[in-house]
Amino acid sequence: MTSMTFAPSLANPPLLAGELVAGVDTHKDTHHVAILDQVGRPVADREFRADGRGYAQIIAFLREHGDVARVGVEGTGSYGAGLSRALSVAGVSVIEVARQDRQARRKRGKSDPLDAHQAAVSVLAGTDTAIPKTGDGAVESLRILIGERRSAAKARAQVMNQIHALLITAPELVRHAFRALSGQRLVNTLAKTRPGPNGSSDPEVISRQTLKRLAVRHLTMQAEINIIERQLDTLVRQVNPTLLSLSGVGPVTAATLLVAAGDNPERLTTRARFAALTGVAPIPASSGQRTRHRLSRGGNRHANAALHRIVLLRMRHREPRTMAYFERRRAEGLTNRDIMRCLKRHIANEIHTALLNPATDNPAGRELRAQRQQAGIPISVLASTLSVPYQRLRRLEIGTRADPELEQRATLALAQLSPPRAA
């Protein structure tokens, strides 16, 4: 993998004469604002409450001291989210500022005024700054749903682990009754059992009661996850259906990647920036005469995991481009792990293009469907001829999956098939 050189940040263009900058140190209950002039001299600083009234006071405070061109806000995705939205609505340019590292804080000390001043200095110097997510559109709704699904999936997994642990230590009669069951079948069976009266102190009865309650809890979590995934699918199709047309990308994976990019993906101006955001851009680790790169452990780890799932799915379904790439890189002496790292970078480039160029449907699939209907060939007959599942061909036709290899095979098969005779 090659190193990538990032373009200069566009978040901090040169200031005009008379313009000021500000920095905000954000907390749960209060925000501290510091204003500096063009050469870094303090103009004013003040603390405000972190609520709607406080946001209005901050905006008024900035305007009464002159033309504040940009405001650096710490934690635009957490404590500073509300203030960032309020400033954007008021027409103030917001810059996301990274918090100081521990070494700098040990040297300079730490307090709210000092942190706010340092945030303004970062904006003035253009160091450790970025364009923040807007957080005011459908992607923000996706972020909320993804967080809910993640907690529900974790609770579901914990319940299943507890069921298995209890079945290991339960009385023999209980273990024997459910020994042959596993997975969803085990949960469904336990949820339908009648364990006995509540007043019993028999360990066997208590075990059966606990197993039933755990199974019901598992089904409840699964029902919640199903509802969330249906909402995610609907929202993703509204925001960027192009992602769903890519091989190996489902609603949850697409939502995770959209959340990583935010409501304003155009802030990720280059593929290199998106690769760094998702943790697939190698980091230079050269010294002296030795030139090398190391694996990035930073970036959005949920997005990185989503890219990893895409690679695994493409390998599992033997996606033609993926398998051809594997064979070529194996011939060059790369290990499977190194090849997967390279693939994640290539997929990140593909995702970045889809994020910036969302389309409404898959024209190739639509044309294939029209050709099949014109020839009078049922989709089940075509799927049987190609020896592929019916749903796979249907997803290609309605545009939710892109599959160039299947599309080519289907086109050739349609030229050879004859419509079935009427009974």
Q: What is the pLDDT of residue 242?
A: 84
User: Which residues, including other chains, have CB under 8 Å from residue 302's CB and lie 6 or more apart?
Assistant: 146, 256, 259, 260
Mean pLDDT of 388-394: 77
User: According to CATH, what is the number of the domain 363-416?
Assistant: 1.10.260.40
Q: Is 141 exposed, middle or buried (0-12, 13-18, 19+ CB in 10 A)?
A: middle
Domain definitions of the chain by residue range: 20-130, 138-239, 251-356, 363-416
> 155 is written with which tokens?
């609770």
The chain-wide mean pLDDT, for the chain, equals 86
The alpha carbons of the chain give a radius of gyration, in whole angstroms, of 28
Does 219 have pLDDT greater than 90? yes
Tell me how far CA of residue 331 lies from CA of 241, 315, 335, in angstroms.
Answer: 36, 17, 10
User: Percent of the chain beyond pLDDT 70?
Assistant: 91
pTM here? 0.78
User: Among the listed ranges 146-150, 224-228, 415-419, which one has the minimum average pLDDT value?
Assistant: 415-419
CA gap 83, 75 in Å, rounded: 10
| Spatial contact of 204 and 171, defined as CB atoms under 8 Å apart | yes
Long-range Cβ contacts of 376-383 (<8 Å, 24+ apart): 376/419, 376/420, 377/414, 377/417, 377/419, 377/420, 378/420, 381/417, 381/420, 382/410, 382/413, 382/414, 382/417
- Looking at the predicted structure, is the pLDDT value of residue 169 above 70? yes
Maximum CA extent, the chain: 89
Q: What is the pLDDT of residues 295-328, one digit of tens each?
A: 888 889 999 999 999 999 999 988 888 999 999 9
Q: Which CATH class is domain 20-130?
A: alpha beta
Q: What is the pLDDT of residue 288?
A: 84
**Higher-scoring residue by pLDDT: 188, 378:** 188
